Amino acid sequence: MKILVTGSKGFIGKNLIRRLKEEKDILIFECDKDTDSKTLEVYCKKADFVYHLAGINRTDNEEDFMKGNYGFTVKLINLLSKYNEGCPLMLASSIQVAYDNSYGKSKKAAENLILTYSGINRAKIFIYRLPNVFGKWCKPNYNSVVATFCHNIARKLPITIDEPEKILNLVYIDDLIDELISLLQSTNTDKNYYEVEPIYQVSLKKIADLLYSFYEFNLKGYIPDLSDEFTKKLYSTYLSYLPEDRLSYRLTMHCDDRGSFTEFLKSNNNGQISVNVIKPGITKGNHYHHTKLEKFLVVSGRGVIRLKHIISGRLLEYQLSSETLEVINVPAGYAHSIENIGDTDLVVLIWCNEVFDKNKPDTYMLKV
């Protein structure tokens, strides 16, 4: 299948092309502002589907909107009508068509061209009046407030919010790309206008507050509550804007002659993950908890995990190694210990259902 993508170097175009390259048996024709007319003509002759993403959404000369959004669409439609009538076409329009501004008028004019093309050539068309789209690879300090906020907050640069309670309608880039990819197998012929779901309605203040919390979380080794879909997608977006020199960070290792203990990830909603390194012949633990729950996983070396019910005294023993990954649940009310019975360091991943609180450790010593 041969796919023509106009606006190939734009935010949506880059994400779409990357995904198309992951599909089988697809040849992509990439068209941007530097593509000459002859090349575009060849692409239009051969295309089996067109994603028309090209356009101008920011300029100092308002006449450029009509030239870029309507004028280029005229050129594209004329070539398709001449060489490839009936070729399916998707148009990236905008919710701005509902407003009386030059950008919106140019997008509306492009829509009308596409509708006429469909009527004359009986071609399937897919018009999307897109709201604000956010995600990786969007240019900051241009026309995306989310991209600008992510870029600036990640670098401790100031942001400006004139209307904190203003609500934005937001679509996540990968949700949009999923929708666009699905059009290649679409059999819909009964409508011309389509929407991407879900659309998130979020205030500028909430976006900024979340991004500032991500910045602080990253400093302290925390991750946000990712059960909320918008938070999860915004967090993914934020991390893509981190400066390269902040993609890595060192953890605080608590070391002694027995080995080390290091907190890896913390979450106010899902507890924490830690790494426990134990020297050969050393036993750690010998304590219990009333509420705190843990899961142990040996990822390197050989060890014995022992559990003892603090009331009945019943003793359980598990020999573990990295050769067979096995998780041990440590319920509340069981004293537990970990002994390294190998010749190398024993490395154990530990998940706990709460972040350690030194003022309420819920940890009581008892030899197993």
CA count, 13 A, side-chain hemisphere, 32: 10
Helix 72-83 and helix 102-121, axial crossing angle in degrees, nearest 10: 10
Q: Is 103 a catalytic residue?
A: yes
What are the structure tokens assigned to 327, written together?
């998780």
Each as own residue / partner, the long-range contacts of residues 143-152 (CB below 8 Å, 24 or more positions apart, any chain) are: 143/57, 143/58, 144/11, 145/204, 145/207, 146/170, 146/207, 146/234, 146/237, 147/241, 149/207, 149/208, 149/211, 150/211, 150/237, 150/238, 150/240, 150/241, 151/241
Q: What is the DSSP string of 275-312?
A: EEEE-TT-EEEEEE-SS--EEEEEEESEEEEEEEETTT
What value does the CA radius of gyration of the chain take, rounded to a whole number of Å?
A: 28
**Residue 275, number of CB atoms within 10 A of its CB:** 16
Alpha carbons 9 and 14: distance in angstroms, whole number: 6
In angstroms, how far is CA 21 from the centroid of its own chain? 19
Contacts of residue 123, defined as CB under 8 A and 6 or more positions apart, other chains included, come to: 80, 85, 86, 87, 88, 89, 117
**Residue 59, number of CB atoms within 10 A of its CB:** 13
Task: Give per-residue burial for 331-357: e unless 16+ CB within 10 Å, then b.
Answer: eeebbbbbbbebeeebbbbbbbebbee
What are the structure tokens assigned to 55, written together?
């356009």
The three-class DSSP label of residue 237 is helix
- The catalytic residue among 70, 103, 128, 334 is 103
**Residue 335 is which amino acid?**
A
Phi then psi for residue 28, to 5 deg, are -105, 130
Residues designated catalytic: 103
